[in-house]
Chain A
Amino acid sequence: MLIELRVNGELRSADVPPETTLLKMLREHLDLPGTKLGCDVGDCGTCTVIVDGVSVNSCLLLAGRAKGSEVTTIEGLANSNTLHPLQQKFEEYGALQCGFCGPGMLMSAKNLLDNNPTPTVYEVRDALAGNLCRCTGYTKIIEAVVDVSRDMKAESDA
């Protein structure tokens, strides 16, 4: 079936079998392998992307349902000149070790800050509960997200 959607601002389309998940469509049909397959059952969060303003597990969403949607993936987080503040802070804090959880983790963090620019630490933890990381123990990830929100607040206050 022909699926047309907007990915990272660009109109894309692909003819995929109906059982194709959005994750598979992004990785295999649209050449966007930044979004990862970790568990394929919606537990680990490595496949997190933002569809029409909300974060979802792309491994559980059939491409057919994403038809006509606005999708943001990790490839769309930075622009060609600058890193997204989250990417900047994740790098500075050493929040990613093997990096495999990174794309999903960052999309979840972005989804949080888009909806709640000044989260508490509890809210950050809650927002990232669907993203597993086996390397870092989460501390640096949470610190990085909190730091970004602090910067955002300082900027808006200024």
Chain B
Amino acid sequence: MKSLDYIAPNSAEAAVALLSENGESACPLAGGTDLVVDLKHAPGDIELLVDVSRIDEFRGIEETEDGLRIGSMVTYGEIMSNPICLEKTPAIVDASHTIGAVQTRNLGTIGGNLVTCVPSADSAPALMVLDAEVTVAGLDGKRRMPIEDFFVGPRKTSLEPYELLVDIWIPKKNLGKPSDFYKFGLRKGQALALVNAAAAIDIKKGKIIDPRIALGAVAPTPIRALKAEALLANEKPTPELIVEASEIAVTECKPIDDFRASLKYRQQLVRTLTRRVLTRSVEIASNR
């Protein structure tokens, strides 16, 4: 690796200041599972790494009156062993479990996954179906937005220059909402998603309430399958309806056709995965 400077500030303000003072030559470092690899192969103009992983306000998982707060620098490993997440957001635990392998999950952070913003980001669909919001901090203080507004395009977020992702919030009403996540990659470990999918629903008086379906690796950013959701809302959850919703989800995707999988294969995966996550969510909801 080429010569670099490394600094680990202990507050968001200090990190933002360091980034703005050093401009293009500085880069925030989270878990490093992507960035350190890039630095070894194509270091570009980066001269200073600002390690944000040890900033207290970026860390920790806690339940407050507003809901669940997950610090951006929480690792997947921490999510997987956190009792609150295990109990109330199992889809996020499942999604974290499908990323890389144990060692990379102990380094990689949920915030890093979101900021890298690849279409296949595994944490994204699970967060989207739970209506997650994100807080970002920059030179002008903090702002908060729905997670869907955070994704702009492949490797492009709505972060302004020198802004950092602080934390992720799951609204209180969605804690414990029946949900499921499923990823399909070429291998079970250490593989990118060909397609990933998440769903969350409530059932009241035998009818589906607030259905959510999110899909990854099927468009430039992770997406919600809004038409499929609309079909499900206020209906009785039947296998036929789920099949129909899965068909509609296919029409809402624009997957790529590449060496990992053909367009047709990815469409089939959307169909199957949507059906699975919906069926499982309905099962969980019905068993409560």
Contacts and interface: CB of A to CB of B under 8 A. Distances in A.
A87 interface: no
Contact of A19 (B39, B53, B77, B188): B39
B3 to A, nearest CB: 6
Interface stretch (B61-69, B95-103, B170-178, B236-244): B95-103
Interface stretch (A7-15, A59-67, A72-80, A90-98): A59-67
A61 B100 contact: no
Q: Say whether chain B's binding surface is mostly helix, strand, loop, or mixed.
A: loop
Given A60-B33, A129-B188, A55 B4 contact: no
A43 interface: yes
A42 B36 CA distance: 10
A118 to B, nearest CB: 16
A101 interface: no
Given A21-B1, A64-B6, A65-B53, A45 B103 contact: yes
A42 B37 contact: yes
A19 B3 contact: yes
Given A42-B37, A60-B36, A64-B51, A19 B2 contact: yes
A152 interface: no
A21 B107 CA distance: 13
8 contacts: A18-B6, A19-B4, A19-B6, A21-B36, A54-B77, A55-B102, A56-B107, A112-B102
Given A18-B5, A19-B4, A126-B102, 7 more contacts: A19-B1, A55-B102, A57-B103, A60-B37, A60-B104, A65-B54, A130-B100
Interface of B: 1-6, 8, 29, 31-33, 36-37, 39-40, 49, 51, 53-54, 77, 81, 100-104, 106-107, 188-190
Q: Which 5 A-B pairs have the closest CB atoms?
A: A130-B101, A129-B189, A18-B6, A54-B106, A19-B4
